[in-house]
Amino acid sequence: MRRWLAAAFAVAFIGTAEAAPDKLECLAPAKPGGGFDLTCQLLRLSLQNAKLVPQPVAVNYMEGGVGAVAYNHVVGSRPGDPGLVVAASSGSALLLAQKKFGAHDENAVRWLAALGADYGVLAVSADSPFKSLKELGAAFKANPGSLPVGGGGAVGSQDWMKAAIFAKAVGVDPKSMRYAALEGGGAVLTALQGGHVKIGSGDAAEMSALHKAGKVRILAVMSEERLPGDLADVPTAKEQGLDLVWTIWRGYYMGPKVSDADYRWWVDLLTKLAATPEFAAERQARGLFPFTKIGTDFVQQVKADVARFRELAKEAGLM
């Protein structure tokens, strides 16, 4: 009976013949706050504001292993739950590439969608002599030890990887970088302004305000095209002759035994959601840029990312 009522609501709300799950849940694989929580709240609030489902999306939390505990929990304990989606990011793909999720690889779940992204950036202090990525690259190649790099994570993290692909692109062995592992993007900006590091590896959203204020200088964004808003004046790395792209997507996966019909229901729902003004407003409020890949397109994105990250990790001696 409940399943029949859910199906009736689904027809009314999203115009599909597939039955809606009885309960909708987004699992954030971390404590409240932070990127995974942001990803779940984006889904919860935009669905609620757009009035696309009759029931609220519950947000629950399961910390551990930067997503590993939740990944193994879903695969082992809730593999067929039709109402459960789990927040993930390109960082999840990076950890999977380095085999940090245990026995399960990227094929252990059903990848559902990415609904927004941030992008990597390389920055210097406001008084740095370097005005372009080309100038920075030439100096780094000549003497990498004189230009320490700061990132918000340890060796093998996304910030380290962004710096590593820059080093590789200009002919420097990433293992020869002087890399300072700092506690998050705020610490990177502080170290950059204080002269403790000469290059900051970070994300567009966290560095754009200080770039606009003239306190740091972002030399390049690692996106296919220039970003809108406060960073519209910053050229891409590609524009400056270096093929550096680092997309930090925010998305969701489901258990491996979710039926095709239930998976399709979510694909249809998120496709419709992504086209609404309510979703665009919630995405912008969280500092994310447009990046929508749903269903097969997202599966291909994840698998390509894991393969690329795996090769980078091997080249850097991390595996």
Cα separation, 21 vs 9, whole angstroms: 10
pLDDT given at position 224: 94
Cα separation, 29 vs 285, whole angstroms: 22
Give the model confidence (pLDDT) of 89-111 as tens digits: 999 999 999 999 999 999 999 99
Direct distance between the N- and C-terminal alpha carbons of the chain, in angstroms, rounded to an integer = 52
b/e per residue 156-194 (b: at least 16 CB within 10 A): bbbbbbbbbbbbbbbebebeebebbebeebebbbebbbe
Give the model confidence (pLDDT) of 128-170 as tens digits: 999 999 999 999 999 999 999 999 888 888 999 999 999 999 9
Structural domains in the chain, sorted by start: 2-117+247-315 (3.40.190.150), 119-240 (3.40.190.10)
DSSP secondary structure, 66-112, as one string = GGHHHHHHHHHH-TT-TTEEEEEEHHHHHHHHTTTTTT--GGGSEEE
Q: How many CB atoms lie within 10 A of CB 223?
A: 24
Find how far residue 227's CA is from the centre of its chain.
16
Say which residue the tokens 């029931």 belong to.
Answer: 55
Whether the predicted pLDDT of 17 surpasses 80: no
Give the model confidence (pLDDT) of 249-296 as tens digits: 999 999 999 999 999 999 999 999 999 999 999 999 998 999 999 999
